[in-house]
């Protein structure tokens, strides 16, 4: 027995065979008809569609044979495939190649064999269509020709079968996509009649699949002519528009409609795909937001700064009319109409604050003026939290309110305080001066009976003067009338000086002031005002310490700036009071502070002064364990550290 050689293109052949997805699949009537026909034409008991796999021949269809497969080395068909030519063996017993083949010597006792190679569309021989008899036999020309036709037909069916499988898969996938689209989807014919719908569409329109099928799309839309318009526009590609669907119950649903033409390449229009997204929730949310926003003073908004520097208000409540004098629609794409209303003196500061907020994602908080087209100049306060979006855009969520009223109040108050202070200062100076002279004995000995009263009068007039001085300072600071002279100052000498001047006051509270050792440096500041700030911090530290405690003054130069700290071990600052401590007239506990004396203006003035010197002031405090107030000031250029 001789074995069929392995074809030269075996790898390709096997790959092609796999690709057809025929091996080990159930019988299919299509192929069984072919084998039946082949057996009938050739008048043989056996006909097979045999596929030559790597190690075996496997029968896709068989007539008159029970086995599903045999070893490849026994296969007659392997010879036909190797030669890629028809093989006819009239009597196997007379053929040296097959005489001793077990399929000949034993069941099924093959004598006659005729096989026609089966080709795929690239011409690769994959197997044969063969007929077999247990008796010797000879095919006539007619039978041979018909067998050949059937073999060709079988090869073509292999391809068609595969295409049909692919199509079935695709259609299953389309159906799955339709069913799970998450939106209502309708497939329409070119006339706009519904061919298919998915469950969402059925739910939205309150129709069953059957009831929807065949419905005319224009009748499902509330607006007459909208569908026709969209279809016409579809010539230029998919269209999107908002519209309203009519449900079976007669409701009108807001939806976003997306209509795409379905057209295979170069072919006539097959129909349309219509996707509808329910917008009723969005509309409801919008309405809810509108109602809430209408109750708020000022405007609530989203402001988008794009990576290219342009900006817009994706959302602005109707209140934007009161703030910027423009409608939400006017600034939805471009914020320019609103930004143009910023007061020219304040615009740079507002823009800089936006840039800073975008960079470090800190809350944007500004008070500035707007030139309102109807209401004239307004003072407004804005506050917004930024959010970085992918792609480098930044989106703020915030509100802006009109604070003109408050500003007017503040101005009146400032003017009042300013006037009163100026009016009071001169007579008060005279009173304090006179009392000083009297108590100093310049007018003769003070009668014992009057001494105590006069001393109380003098100390109270001094306290009043301090209050007036503080008020005038604040007034000057607020009005921008305080001129600071910044110059390089040797810091340690200045600290030593501050310590000395405040020593008497500290001693009065029986508190020890100490200057901790440290490097000297040149600080850039106004000497008199820095002394004023230090005096205030040292006085507070002494005031709020217990007798016998220490207050430490220190300075630590850093790169470019220096931190000066005043540390006490006193009562500390209650957490609830901490946020207000730098506000005007703020005192932690009125009773307690009265006892300590003071106006509640010292820290407010200190903060203003430090900030005008280009520095910062702050504190750390643990209630019950003391506080450390610090000021950071810039170093003078060229100073050593
Ligand atoms: P005052 O003239 O009342 O001291 P300040 O503005 O200097 O005004 O201080 C405001 C308030 O802050 C004080 O009344 C006190 O309640 C609190 N405070 C300031 N410094 C200290 C400190 N070192 N320890 C505890 N409380 C302090």
Question: Which of these ranges, 465-469, 493-497, 501-505, 522-526, has the smallest mean pLDDT?
Answer: 465-469
DSSP 307: T
**Cα gap 499→510, rounded to integer Å:** 15
Q: Note whether 152 and 240 are same-domain residues.
A: no
Domain count, the chain: 5
Q: Find, among 283, 258, 269, the residue nearest to 201 by Cα.
A: 258
Q: Could you read off the pLDDT of 256-302 as tens digits, one per residue? A: 999 999 988 888 899 999 999 999 988 898 899 889 988 988 999 99
How remote is the CA of residue 584 from the centroid of ligand 1, in Å?
A: 11
Q: Note whether 372 and 415 are same-domain residues.
A: no
| Pocket mutation for ligand 1, best pick of 603, 608, 628 (most atoms within 8 Å of C-beta) | 603
Tell me what pLDDT residue 639 has. 41
Task: Point out the domain boundary residue: 230, 255, 278.
Answer: 278
Atom of ligand 1 at shortest range from CA of 566: 23
Tell me what pLDDT residue 596 has. 63
pLDDT category of residue 640 using cuts at 50, 70 and 90: very low
Q: Note whether 470 and 549 are same-domain residues.
A: no
Q: Is 554 helix (H, G, I), strand (E, B) or coil?
A: strand
For ligand 1, atom 13: residue with the closest CA: 587
How remote is the CA of residue 622 from the centroid of ligand 1, in Å?
A: 14
For ligand 1, atom 11: residue with the closest CA: 587
Q: Note whether 425 and 381 are same-domain residues.
A: no
pLDDT category of residue 591 using cuts at 50, 70 and 90: low
Q: To 10 degrees, what angle do helices 448-479 and 602-612 make?
A: 40
Average pLDDT over residues 133-148: 97
Phi, psi (deg, nearest 5) at residue 558: -125, -170
Q: Is 478 helix (H, G, I), strand (E, B) or coil?
A: helix
Q: Note whether 433 and 345 are same-domain residues.
A: no
Q: Is the pLDDT of residue 478 over 80?
A: no
Work out the mean pLDDT of the chain and round it to a whole number. 92
Which amino acids bring their CB within 6 angstroms of ligand 1?
A: 536, 540-541, 544, 568, 570-571, 573, 581, 586-588, 593, 598-604, 627
How remote is the CA of residue 469 from the centroid of ligand 1, in Å?
A: 17
**Cα gap 54→49, rounded to integer Å:** 16
Q: Which domain holds residue 550?
A: 487-638
How remote is the CA of residue 255 from the centroid of ligand 1, in Å?
A: 62
Provide the CATH number for the domain around residue 18: 3.30.450.40
How remote is the CA of residue 613 from the centroid of ligand 1, in Å?
A: 22
Asked if residue 172 belongs to a domain, the reply is: no
Q: Note whether 98 and 114 are same-domain residues.
A: yes
Atom of ligand 1 at shortest range from CA of 582: 6
Atom of ligand 1 at shortest range from CA of 629: 23
Q: Note whether 455 and 543 are same-domain residues.
A: no
Chain mean position to CA 577: 37
Q: Could you read off the pLDDT of 183-232 as tens digits, one per residue? A: 999 999 999 999 999 999 999 999 999 999 999 999 999 999 999 999 99
Print the SS3 string covering 569-610. Answer: CCCCCCCCCHHHCCCCCCCCCHHHHHHHCCCCCHHHHHHHHH
Q: Note whether 312 and 396 are same-domain residues.
A: yes
**Cα gap 49→63, rounded to integer Å:** 9
Q: Is 297 helix (H, G, I), strand (E, B) or coil?
A: coil
Provide the CATH number for the domain around residue 425: 1.10.287
Q: Is the pLDDT of residue 96 over 80?
A: yes
Atom of ligand 1 at shortest range from CA of 592: 16
Question: 144-148, 361-365, 404-408, 577-581: which has the highest mean pLDDT?
Answer: 144-148
Neighbouring residues of 346: CB distance < 8 A, sequence distance ≥ 6: 368, 369
**Cα gap 229→231, rounded to integer Å:** 5
Task: Point out the domain boundary residue: 243, 278, 313.
Answer: 278
How remote is the CA of residue 572 from the centroid of ligand 1, in Å?
A: 10
CB atoms within 10 A of CB 123: 11
Asked if residue 558 belongs to a domain, the reply is: yes
For ligand 1, atom 3: residue with the closest CA: 600
Tell me what pLDDT residue 63 has. 97
Atom of ligand 1 at shortest range from CA of 587: 14
Q: Note whether 449 and 539 are same-domain residues.
A: no
Asked if residue 5 belongs to a domain, the reply is: no
Q: To 10 degrees, what angle do helices 491-508 and 527-543 make?
A: 40
How remote is the CA of residue 607 from the centroid of ligand 1, in Å?
A: 13
Task: Point out the domain boundary residue: 253, 278, 303.
Answer: 278
Tell me what pLDDT residue 425 has. 85
Average pLDDT over residues 516-532: 93
| Pocket mutation for ligand 1, best pick of 467, 574, 587 (most atoms within 8 Å of C-beta) | 587
Pair 118, 134: CB distance under 8 Å: no
**Percent of the chain topping pLDDT 70:** 98
Atom of ligand 1 at shortest range from CA of 539: 4
Q: Is the pLDDT of residue 641 over 50?
A: no
Phi, psi (deg, nearest 5) at residue 492: -65, -40
How remote is the CA of residue 577 from the centroid of ligand 1, in Å?
A: 10
Q: Note whether 265 and 200 are same-domain residues.
A: yes
Q: Note whether 391 and 424 are same-domain residues.
A: no
How remote is the CA of residue 592 from the centroid of ligand 1, in Å?
A: 11
Asked if residue 311 belongs to a domain, the reply is: yes
Q: Is the pLDDT of residue 236 over 50?
A: yes
Asked if residue 177 belongs to a domain, the reply is: no
| Pocket mutation for ligand 1, best pick of 462, 540, 586 (most atoms within 8 Å of C-beta) | 540
DSSP letter string, 357-380: HHHH-PPEEEEEEEEETTTEEEEE
Q: Could you read off the pLDDT of 303-335 as tens digits, one per residue? A: 999 999 999 999 999 999 999 999 999 999 999
pTM metric for this prediction: 0.47
pLDDT category of residue 595 using cuts at 50, 70 and 90: low
With tokens 């602005």, the residue in question is: 316
Q: Note whether 44 and 93 are same-domain residues.
A: yes
Phi, psi (deg, nearest 5) at residue 131: -120, 145
Tell me what pLDDT residue 597 has. 66
Q: Is the pLDDT of residue 422 over 90?
A: no
Provide the CATH number for the domain around residue 388: 3.30.450.20
Q: Find, among 424, 405, 407, 414, the residue nearest to 478 by Cα.
A: 414
Q: Give the β-pairing of 394-402 and 299-305.
A: antiparallel
Atom of ligand 1 at shortest range from CA of 626: 24
Tell me what pLDDT residue 583 has. 86
How remote is the CA of residue 598 from the centroid of ligand 1, in Å?
A: 8
Atom of ligand 1 at shortest range from CA of 536: 7
How remote is the CA of residue 264 from the centroid of ligand 1, in Å?
A: 82
Q: Find, among 164, 107, 169, 132, the residue nearest to 44 by Cα.
A: 132
Asked if residue 103 belongs to a domain, the reply is: yes
CB atoms within 10 A of CB 630: 19
Asked if residue 218 belongs to a domain, the reply is: yes
Atom of ligand 1 at shortest range from CA of 586: 10
Average pLDDT over residues 331-349: 96
Asked if residue 173 belongs to a domain, the reply is: no
How remote is the CA of residue 521 from the centroid of ligand 1, in Å?
A: 29
Provide the CATH number for the domain around residue 558: 3.30.565.10
- Counted residue by residue, the chain has a size of 641
Tell me what pLDDT residue 623 has. 86
């Amino acid at each position: 027995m001789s074995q069929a050689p392995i074809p030269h293109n075996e790898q390709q052949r096997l790959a092609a065979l796999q690709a057809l997805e025929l091996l080990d699949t159930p019988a299919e009537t299509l192929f069984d008809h072919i084998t039946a026909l082949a057996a009938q034409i050739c008048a043989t008991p056996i006909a097979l569609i045999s596929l030559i796999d790597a190690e075996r021949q496997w029968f896709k269809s068989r007539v008159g044979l029970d086995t599903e497969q045999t070893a490849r080395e026994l296969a007659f068909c392997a010879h036909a495939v190797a030669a890629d030519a028809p093989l006819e063996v009239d009597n196997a017993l007379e053929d040296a190649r097959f005489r001793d083949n077990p399929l000949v010597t034993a069941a099924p006792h093959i004598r006659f064999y005729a096989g026609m190679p089966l080709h795929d569309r690239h011409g690769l021989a994959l197997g044969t269509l063969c007929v077999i008899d247990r008796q010797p036999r000879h095919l006539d020309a007619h039978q041979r020709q018909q067998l050949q036709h059937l073999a060709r037909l079988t090869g073509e069916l292999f391809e068609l079968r595969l295409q049909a499988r692919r199509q079935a898969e695709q259609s299953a996938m389309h159906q799955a996509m339709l069913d799970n689209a998450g939106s209502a989807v309708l497939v329409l014919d070119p006339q706009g009649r519904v061919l298919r719908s998915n469950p969402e569409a059925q739910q939205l329109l309150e129709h069953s699949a059957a009831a929807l099928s065949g419905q005319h799309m224009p009748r499902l839309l509330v607006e007459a002519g909208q569908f026709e318009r969209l279809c016409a526009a579809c010539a230029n590609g998919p269209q999107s528009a908002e519209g309203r669907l009519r449900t079976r119950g007669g409701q009108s649903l807001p939806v976003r409609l997306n209509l795409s033409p379905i057209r295979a390449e170069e072919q006539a229009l097959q129909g349309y795909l219509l996707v509808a997204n329910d917008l009723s929730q969005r509309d409801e949310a919008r309405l809810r937001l509108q109602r809430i926003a209408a109750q708020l003073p000022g405007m609530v908004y989203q402001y988008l700064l794009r990576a290219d520097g342009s900006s817009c208000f994706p959302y602005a409540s109707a209140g934007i009319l009161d703030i910027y004098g423009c409608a939400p629609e006017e600034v939805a794409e471009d914020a320019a109409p609103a930004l143009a209303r910023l007061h020219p003196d304040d615009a740079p500061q507002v823009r800089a604050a936006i840039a800073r907020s975008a960079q470090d994602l800190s809350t944007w908080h500004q008070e500035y003026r707007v030139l309102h087209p109807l209401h004239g100049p307004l003072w407004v306060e804005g506050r917004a939290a930024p959010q970085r979006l992918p792609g480098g855009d930044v989106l703020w969520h915030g509100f802006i309110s009109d604070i003109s009223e408050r500003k007017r109040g503040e101005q009146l108050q400032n003017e009042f305080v300013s006037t009163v202070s100026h009016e009071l200062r001169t007579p008060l100076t005279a009173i304090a001066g006179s009392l000083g002279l009297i108590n100093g004995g310049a007018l003769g000995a003070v009668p014992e009976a009057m001494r105590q009263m006069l001393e109380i009068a003098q100390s109270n007039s001094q306290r009043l003067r301090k209050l007036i001085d503080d008020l005038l300072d604040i007034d000057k600071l607020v009005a921008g009338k305080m001129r600071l002279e910044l110059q390089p100052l040797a810091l340690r000498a200045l600290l030593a000086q501050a310590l000395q001047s405040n020593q008497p006051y500290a001693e009065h509270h029986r508190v020890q002031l100490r200057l901790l050792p440290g490097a000297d440096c040149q600080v850039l500041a106004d000497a008199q005002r820095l002394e004023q700030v230090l005096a205030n911090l040292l006085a507070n530290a002494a005031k709020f310490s217990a007798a016998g405690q220490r207050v430490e003054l220190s300075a630590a130069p850093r790169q470019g700036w220096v931190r000066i700290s005043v540390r006490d071990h006193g009562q500390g600052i209650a957490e609830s009071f901490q946020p207000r401590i730098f506000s005007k007239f703020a005192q932690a506990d009125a009773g307690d502070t009265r006892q300590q004396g003071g106006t509640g203006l010292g820290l407010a003035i200190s903060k203003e002064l430090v900030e005008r010197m280009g520095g910062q002031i702050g504190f750390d405090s643990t209630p019950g364990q003391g506080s450390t107030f610090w000021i950071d000031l810039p170093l003078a250029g060229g100073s050593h550290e």
